[in-house]
Amino acid sequence: MNTLPDPHAPQRFTLSSLAAKWLGPATEACVAPLLLLVALYLPFAYFVLPEASALHLSLFGINLIGQIMCFALLALALDLVWGYAGILSLGHGVFFGIGGYLMAIYLLNGAYEQTHVLPDFMQYMGASEFPPLWKALSRLDVTVLATIVASAAVAAVFGFVTFRSRINGVYLSIITQALTYALMLLLFINDVGLGGNNGMTGFTQLAGHPVAGATTQIGLAVASCVLLVAAYVGVRYLTRSALGRALIAVRDDEARMRFLGYRTHTLKLLAWCLSAVLAALAGMLYVPQVGIVNPTIVSPQLSVEIAVWVAIGGRGTLLGAIFGAILVNGIKFWLTAELPAVWPFILAGVTLLIVVCFNNGVWGTFKAAAGRERQP
């Protein structure tokens, strides 16, 4: 016989009870407004609050926040294909690099128009004029469009060949990382004309404003937050639609979905191309904030780190990917400044601790506990 709980009995605070209390649809719905508040706070903290205030942010701090927002967008892009379509990509740095290099070409266009001096790597290669093909990216809107088209086209070609051939699992992961490594080696070659080992730098203006100026850097950080919000809202809506449910079914049992008549390779290709575009846009915003782009932007190490961010936060949760990227990179930036000699070991230990203690990632574990608590 069911009995009512004793109101005077001591309450037990377990992981499930705490998660059920604080996690839910309302909590996830607050993420977008919270990030927008961060975007609004950045210029206020720099221009309005006095430097003596504890809430004041330096331009360096705002720049770090902007970079972290780009990494969060990159993690969100990977979570779309890994968490919902079951595609573990260890080569998303390729799309990140596409956006970064195209943005660098646009920025070098602006620098050349201002100084009429060729970049150092072009002078080293013996070039006598600015590449005519690069001049097509002299406008920001054209560059954004070219980034979207280029990343989607590369993703479509690769995805069509691999998904149509039913290459899945670890084989696909190995191929993506091999392509990332091959592209990095290609970019190291000076004859490619993209700066070689030294990369491209010397950016002076962005849309007519000084790249290193406070207004421009704060604007880039705000744009990173806003784009992350827009991507999160859009992807969240997508994953809760019929297409999202179909992707989850493909992830769980692709053979049965094919038997039911679904074109599973088309479903995966759509998610793959969208993920590539988001990663490329993150690269576009990242490069002017760091002031340089070189082959390390497509290094296999970065692509593996993206998967680590998603795994720590919890794949298949979207919000967990954002949380994981912010957490890991926040710790990384802090330890790099405070403990530069031992920070890799501390970060590795924290990562292992989280992975061992939270099987589904931090956010994924709490969300699963909340779901169990709400079941009758």
User: What are the phi and psi torsion angles at 205 (to 5°)?
Assistant: -145, 150
What residues have CB less than 8 Å from 207, skipping those under 6 apart? 140
Confidence of residue 371 (pLDDT cuts 50, 70, 90): low
Mean pLDDT of 345-373: 73
Confidence of residue 322 (pLDDT cuts 50, 70, 90): very high
What is the sign of the dihedral through the CA atoms of 27, 31, 32 and 35? positive
CA dihedral 88, 93, 99, 105 (to 10 degrees): -160
**Which residue is listed with tokens 């990159």?**
74
Backbone φ/ψ region at 202: left (φ over 0), alpha (ψ -120 to 50), beta: left
- Cα separation of 148 and 151, whole Å? 5
Tokens representing residue 331 in the block = 């710790």
pLDDT tens digit string along 64-105? Answer: 999 999 999 999 999 999 999 999 999 999 999 999 999 999
- Cα separation of 27 and 253, whole Å? 30
pLDDT beyond 90 at 235: yes
- Cα separation of 90 and 170, whole Å? 10
- Cα separation of 138 and 103, whole Å? 10
**Amino acid in position 250:** V
Model-wide pTM > 0.85: yes
- The DSSP code for 326 is H
User: What are the phi and psi torsion angles at 62 (to 5°)?
Assistant: -65, -40
